[in-house]
Structure 1
Amino acid sequence: MKQNQLGSSELRVSEIGLGCMSLAPENGAEGREIIKRAYEEGVTYFDTADLYQFGWNEEFAGKSIRPFRDKVVLATKVGNRWTADKKSWEWDPSKTYIKEAVKDSLHRLGTDYIDLYQLHGGTIEDNMDETISAFNELKQDGLIREYGISSIRPNVISYYAEHSEIVSVMMQYSILDRRPEEEMLDYLHGKNISVIARGPVAKGWLSERAFKRSGDEQYLEYEGKEIRELVKGMQDKLSSERTLSQAAIRYCLHHPAVAAVIPGASSVDQLLSNVGAAHTPDLSQDEAALIQSLSKASVYNQHRR
């Protein structure tokens, strides 16, 4: 599988990674097989977070990749802390919390270092300089190799891009959510900061499963009927060398800012379909333009000062 450099760092990640959030405690055996098969298929980027399943996800991912730990990029996130009753979480991007939380993540992951440590959100009201200082100190101490942010907020992203050493920004990006195209992708590419695209298949909408959904469902700005029409148009007009979900994944990778997409997988079959996109042709300019003509070019109207 193609390996891409992550920003200006020495980290190289597979163009299709694995988002581990969909792995669940009740399906541990299948989850272990998914991670094992992902690595065998060339996946070298595994993404988790301390928030997922109260830390279980980090522990499970760390244990599952242990046989090949030094050959992959292990990424996790910080900034959300569960309340005492575990019914909700609070946002805490303070230096004190980040430097405490990284130790807990290292312990759960069973590793001495985190390849990519990401701020799991961010608001314009945060003391971002303090957060940046925390990440820089963790990097100097050797506890993390690089850091990035996971955010869809343009003002937050631009502040970190201008004032920190982030090498990546994770953001939701798909054919059904083209908001990053308006102002983020070219900007980050110019800064040599890589994009990690989450949600490339839009919760299954950009696959044959779209035709099995009930008529009143919707996704962001789209009604279910609109999505089915879009998906039908892709079926009719795009190359048959790819499945719908593979075309959706290749669409995200079409922009040079995107170093990796991280679809989740709840079964080995789903994993194999996702990573199979790595062996299909890149979208042509005409195909990308066709997809854009079928979909909406939305913009970020929220998360402004």
Structure 2
Amino acid sequence: MNKRQVGKSDLYISEIGLGCMSLGTNESHAKDIIDRALDAGINYVDTADLYDFGENEKIVGKALKGRRDEVVLGTKVGNNFNKEKEDWFWDPSKAYIKEEVKESLRRLGTDYIDLYQLHGGTIEDPIDETIEAFEDLVKEGVVRYYGISSIRPNVIREYVKRSNIVSVMMQYSLFDRRPEEEVLDLLQENHISVLARGPLAKGMLSDRGLEKVEEKAQNGHLSYSYDEIKHMVENLQDHATEERSLQAIALQYVLKHPASNKTDCVSKTSLKLKNAL
């Protein structure tokens, strides 16, 4: 599988990555999915501390035991959670980030994180303090590089100006092209990669597209009505072939933008594909 450089880092990740949010809590099933992904050439695995209130990181860590050196491992921070109460609140403070990274390392069973990402963000956040936390972790050697996971253009612009992020994870697909107008050119100019999530639009941009439209878009999708979404899927399916499926068209579109430099959607991006297997 082709690999792309993440920003200016020395991380090279597969054009399709494995997003682990929906792996579930069956360890055997999760390990099978992860093993199949790695065997297929995928080397980017993405999780977050909040997924299943820490359980996802534990499951990913166990699944990667013995194969850690094959993987570029990404996780996220910023949601201060209470597992017992299944509750959380936004906390991008330096104190929380520097404490929570220890918990992520423990759950993942590793002594370093390749790509540590802020899991959200608002313009009211103490951005300089957040950046300082990530920079400290890089200097300490427990994090190799850091990025953000955000769909807010104003937040993304601030991190581009003020930090050394190497990537931005965001929603991007044929059905959600807002990044093209808002930030992709800016990220390309600054050699920052985009990790695209949702490139198949909840499965609507797949060979089961019409079935997924009925499941997911009865009330429309983003700014599109149900009828508009259905018509677009039907039109795209008319252009799909046995050699070039609808999901292939959808992924190739996301990878084509220079900002994504054909990687998981990033300008040097690496396509983060959830539930791809």
- TM-score of the superposed pair, with normalisation by structure 1: 0.84
Aligned position for 2:247: 245
Secondary structure in 2 matching 1:29: helix
Alignment of 1:4-153 (within 5 A): 4-25=4-25, 27-83=26-82, 86-153=85-152
Deviation at 1:243, TM superposition (A): 1.5
C-alpha separation between the residues in 1 aligned to 2:202 and 2:221? 9
8 Å Cα contact 1:210-1:227 kept in structure 2: no
Deviation at 1:240, TM superposition (A): 4.4
8 Å Cα contact 2:4-2:15 kept in structure 1: yes
Aligned position for 2:155: 156
Deviation at 1:239, TM superposition (A): 5.1
Deviation at 1:29, TM superposition (A): 2.0
Secondary structure in 2 matching 1:176: coil
- CA displacement, residues 87-125 of structure 1 (integer Å, 9 cap, x when unaligned): 431000000000000000000000000000000001000
- Aligned partner of 1:224: which letter? Y
Alignment of 1:115-264 (within 5 A): 115-212=114-211, 213=214, 216-238=218-240, 240-257=242-259, 258=266, 259-264=269-274
- CA displacement, residues 203-246 of structure 1 (integer Å, 9 cap, x when unaligned): 11112333221573422112222112111111223554221122
Aligned position for 1:281: none
- CA displacement, residues 253-288 of structure 1 (integer Å, 9 cap, x when unaligned): 0112211111222xxxx51xxxxxxxxxxxxxxxxx
- Aligned partner of 1:245: which letter? Q
C-alpha separation between the residues in 2 aligned to 1:86 and 1:15? 38
C-alpha separation between the residues in 2 aligned to 1:216 and 1:170? 27
- CA displacement, residues 167-192 of structure 1 (integer Å, 9 cap, x when unaligned): 00000001111100002111101000
- TM-score of the superposed pair, with normalisation by structure 2: 0.92
- CA displacement, residues 13-49 of structure 1 (integer Å, 9 cap, x when unaligned): 0010000001001x33222111001001100100000
- Aligned partner of 2:188: which letter? H
Distance change (3 Å), C-alpha of 1:46 and 1:84: closer
8 Å Cα contact 1:19-1:263 kept in structure 2: yes
C-alpha separation between the residues in 2 aligned to 1:249 and 1:88? 35
Give unpaired runs (5+ residues) of structure 2: 260-265
Distance change (3 Å), C-alpha of 1:107 and 1:83: closer
- Aligned partner of 1:152: which letter? I
* 236-245 vs 191-200, which moves further: 236-245
Calculate percent identity across the aligned residue pairs. 56
Aligned position for 2:262: none
Distance change (3 Å), C-alpha of 1:16 and 1:221: same
- Count of residue pairs the alignment pairs up: 266
C-alpha separation between the residues in 1 aligned to 2:40 and 2:88? 35
C-alpha separation between the residues in 2 aligned to 1:206 and 1:84? 34
- Aligned partner of 1:242: which letter? R
Aligned position for 1:303: none
Deviation at 1:53, TM superposition (A): 0.2
Aligned position for 2:263: none
* 62-71 vs 11-20, which moves further: 62-71
Aligned position for 1:298: none
C-alpha separation between the residues in 2 aligned to 1:248 and 1:242? 10
- Aligned partner of 1:10: which letter? D
8 Å Cα contact 1:49-1:78 kept in structure 2: yes
